Every structure is written in structure tokens, then in C-alpha cells.
Amino acid sequence: MLIECKNICKSFGEQSVLKNLSFSAREKEVVAIVGASGAGKTTLLQILGTILSPDSGSVCIDGANVFSLKEKELSLLRNQMVGFVFQFHHLLPEFSALENVMMPALIAKREKITTLNSLEIKEKALKLMDELGLGGKENNLPSELSGGEAQRVAIARAMINSPKIIFADEPSGNLDSKTKGELHSLFFKMRDTYGTTFIIVTHDVELAKKCDRKMELVDGVFK
């Protein structure tokens, strides 16, 4: 398994959100996590992506027990192994689309995590943008992009360090039906091109149907 969590528990105050939950995903798998609001989907995604620590249980990514790693090792794993796409694209407004895509790789370069130089990072970013239908939008600011284009930039940004896993939290929640369909197709295109695993929290029934597997979260446990 590429990612595997066992017996995850998480509470906020007296509210138990995740209850002894286990989950796994293979390489190149696209998994939809569905469920009502408040079921714990985003909390689970944040724990799988190492943003949030569980109260108990373990998460292993590519064989590494992530919450036993030292902070520097965990930062390295986050930068190189995982990417995130959120409902709101969270692009930096003062930077161009290209600069937003390059940002994680430039940080990796500064921290000496990657061997790519600035020109190679730029070329890789441009290639990703072209594959995602963003040719000609490189110099646009986020405010000059449509909602669908901004989410494509966010996907390119998530892919720039060639992560093995992309975690997506309601990535098409703010888009119209046509744009949603186009965005969903891109997830499978990027999986087929780069072998990336996608774990997607979604309320979108059509997207969930297309995924390799659908997991329904109900009151902190998988149904």
C-alpha cells in the first residue's frame, strides 16, 4: 500500500470526530471519500496529509510511519511525497500563475531538497500548465483567471514536486457543471500520465462514480 492508516482516533474537545478508523490506498488509485457534512472527511484528509496529528493510531506513507518522523524529516516528506488541492485555490494573488505553480519547487530548491535549478523548475511548470490547458495563461494573475483556470493552476502547483499522492478537498465545489467535468477528467489524466494517487473528498456524485473506489464516512467511521 502507498498510504495506510490504522485505528485513527481524533477528537476536538468532547466531540469525537474519527473513531478507530483505518484506510489504505494503492499506487495510481483514485479514491473518493464521501459523506455528509460533519462526518469527518476533511479531518481525515488533513491527518492523511500530515497537516493534523491524530490522537491515536498510525499513518504510513510509502512505508514511513509519518508521525514518528522528526520535524525536518516530516517536512521533507510533505514537500516531496504529497500535494494538496482545496475547494478554494489559495493562489498567492500578487504572483503570476506560473510563479504560483513554481513556488513549492523553489522552496524545495532553497531548502536543498531538489536538485532542479530555477530554469528546470520553470520548464517543468510550463509543461504542467500546458498539459492542464493553461498555455498562454502563464503571466496572468489569479484575479485574471476563471474559477476553473485557477483550480488548474492549483493542480499544477500540487504536481510540481512530482508527489506520489494528491489530497483534494472538494476541489470542484465552486465550479459550474461543465467546468467540474473538465476538472474531474484532469485528475484521471494526471494519474495516467504520472502514476499519481488521488484521494478526493467530494460531494459530487458523478466524480465519486468515476473513481476506482468510493468510501463513505458516517459519524467518524467508514460505512
CA pair distance 18, 40, nearest whole angstrom: 6
Q: Give the three-class secondary structure for 48.
A: helix
The beta strands (E) that lie in 132-204 are given as 165-169, 197-201
Query: Alpha helices, DSSP H only, in 16-167?
Result: 41-48, 71-81, 97-110, 118-131, 147-159
Listed ranges 45-54, 70-79, 103-112; the one with the highest mean pLDDT: 45-54
Phi, psi dihedrals of residue 120, rounded to the nearest 5°? -65, -40
Phi, psi dihedrals of residue 213, rounded to the nearest 5°? -150, 145
pLDDT score for 89: 72
- The counts of H helices and E strands in the chain are 7, 10
213, 29 contact by CB (below 8 A): yes
Specify the CATH number for the domain of residue 107. Answer: 3.40.50.300
How many domains does the structure of the chain reveal?
1
Query: Which secondary structure element, helix H or strand E, spans residue 12, and what is its range?
Result: strand 3-12
* Grid cell at residue 138: 502563464
Q: Model's pTM, two decimal places?
A: 0.88
Domain range for 65 is 3-222
Please state the rounded mean pLDDT for residues 17-37. 91
Q: 75 burial class (0-12, 13-18, 19+ CB within 10 angstroms)?
A: middle
CA pair distance 195, 217, nearest whole angstrom: 26
Please state the rounded mean pLDDT for residues 67-85. 85
pLDDT score for 207: 86
The proportion of the chain whose per-residue pLDDT surpasses 90, expressed as a percent, equals 46
pLDDT digits (tens, 9 = 90+) for 169-204: 887 766 677 777 878 888 898 899 999 999 999 888
CA pair distance 217, 223, nearest whole angstrom: 6
